[in-house]
Amino acid sequence: MINGSLSERMWILRGPTNCETALSGITSLPASAAFIDVSGYEFVHIVAHLGTIHASDSPVLTPKCSDSASGTLDVIDSTLAHTPAVDDDGEFVSWSIEVRKLPLDHHFIALAFSGTLTNGSYADVIFLLERGAQPVTQTTAQLPTASQYHWLG
């Protein structure tokens, strides 16, 4: 039977350090040298919660992969690029990526930002890493044990 607890099934990681991160000047979350190693996991799910998208900005959000935590980010597939509209404030964007389908030796993931991002657009990003072996161990600085609740009947 598969464990129904989110915090035991998936490793939960944040993209930015703080919520409602201004995207001006940011090329990826997490930043280079901190790309997330997804080797050993079956799927990586990325969820972006869009904040205000400034009318003069035209951001493009694209999951990318690299061969190291600080390597060059490469496109996984061009169909994964998302360009939010100005009226998408408050919406979610999600991506699910099967790790074994990533290019060989490219098991480091980030969400890249491109386009025009100079006028004050915002987003929060979380990464959910899923693997068959359970339970996973959370990073307690991001998800303390005291903040994990389970009521599974």
Averaged pLDDT score across all residues of the chain: 90
Place of tokens 């790309």: 35
- Please name the residues in contact with 91: beta carbons below 8 A apart, sequence gap of 6 or more: 49, 50, 84
pLDDT digits (tens, 9 = 90+) for 102-125: 998 999 999 999 999 988 899 999
**Domains assigned to the chain:** 6-133 (2.60.120)
Is the four-CA dihedral 2, 96, 24, 28 of positive or negative sign? positive
R_g of the chain computed on alpha carbons: 16
* pTM score above 0.85: yes
pLDDT digits (tens, 9 = 90+) for 29-64: 999 999 999 998 999 999 999 999 999 999 999 999
Q: Which residues pair with 92 in a beta bridge?
A: 49
Quote the CA–CA distance of 74 and 28 in Å, as a whole number: 12
Closest among 111, 148, 150, 143 to 127, alpha carbons compared: 111
Quick one: DSSP state of residue 87? G
State how far the Cα of 10 lies from the Cα of 118, in Å rounded to an integer. Answer: 34
Q: What percent of the chain has pLDDT over 90?
A: 61
